Structure 1
C-alpha cells in the first residue's frame, strides 16, 4: 500500500511539474523613452546613427555650414501595433538645477526657430512617427546658424523631452529628456 501511495504521489508531482505554464501577457500601456547607454546622467546623449562615424557630441554650425543634424534614439515599449503612432517633443523648461549645471556665461539656451528647427515645424513632425512593429525610432535634431550673431562664437544647449499623448506615454520617467550642445563659430 505504501508503494502504491508513493507511486501516486510521484506521478502527481511529475504531472504538476510538467504542465505548461504560459507567461503572462503584457497588459500595460505603450511607452516611449530615450535610449540610455548607462553612461553619464539619466538624460540621453546624441546618437550618430548607423554609418555615421563617432565625433564630438557638440554639433557645429557656421556661415559655411548653416545646418547640422544629430540623431537621438527613442525606444518603443508595449504592445505591437499595426498602425502608425504619433508623438511629439518639446523644449524643456529649465529648472534651477539644470540651469546651474549647463548654462553659464559661455553657454546660452538654444532658441527654437533661430538655433534649431522647432519641434512643431512640419519638417520635424514627419519624423515623430512610430511605424508598426518598430522597437526604436531615430529622431533628427536640426541645429541652424543664426546670422544675427555672425562673427561671434557662441555655445548653446538644448534640453528637450517627450510629450505624452493618448496613444503613447513616457515609459520610464528617468529617460524622458535629452540634451544637445551646439557651437556657432565665428567663421
Structure 2
C-alpha cells in the first residue's frame, strides 16, 4: 500500500512539473547561456554571474559582477558588485544596478548610475538617463529623451516636453524657448 501511495504521489508531482517543463522556481545563470536548471522561464529567484540570459523572470533577478539579460521581467532586478540589467522586450517592476538597458516598454522604476531605456511609464532615476522613446519622469544629472512629461536635473533635453523641465539647462524643441535655464515647458 505504501509503494502504491508513493507511486501515486510521484506520478502526480511529475505530471504537474511536466506541465510547466520550461519554468523553474530557482536558477543560476552564467556565460555561454549556462542555466541551471536548463529552463526558459523563472518564477521565483534567479542569480546570474558575469552574464546570465533567460527568456522570462517573474520574481527576483540578481546579477553579480556582470549583466542579467531577459526578454521579459516582472518583479525586481538587482545588480550587485558592478551588476547591471538588460531587458529586451518588457519590464514591469523595479530595476536597481550599475546600469539598466531596457529596449522595450517599462512600467515602474529604474534606479542606477546609467539608464538607457525606450518607453517608460514610471521613473528613471540615474546620473545619466537616455531614452529613445517616451518617459514620464526623469531625474538625474543629465536626462535626454524623445519625449518626456517631467525632467529634473542639471541638463535636460527632449524633442517634446509634455509637462515641465527643471534644471540648470533645459532644452526642448517644443519649449517656450528651445533652451532655457531653471525651467522650461511646452509653448
More helix, by proportion = 1
Instruction: Give the TM-score normalised by structure 1.
Output: 0.25
Larger Cα Rg: Structure 1 or Structure 2?
1
The normalised TM-score by structure 2 is 0.25
Determine which structure has greater relative contact order: mean sequence separation of CA pairs < 8 Å that are 6+ residues apart, divided by chain length.
Answer: 1
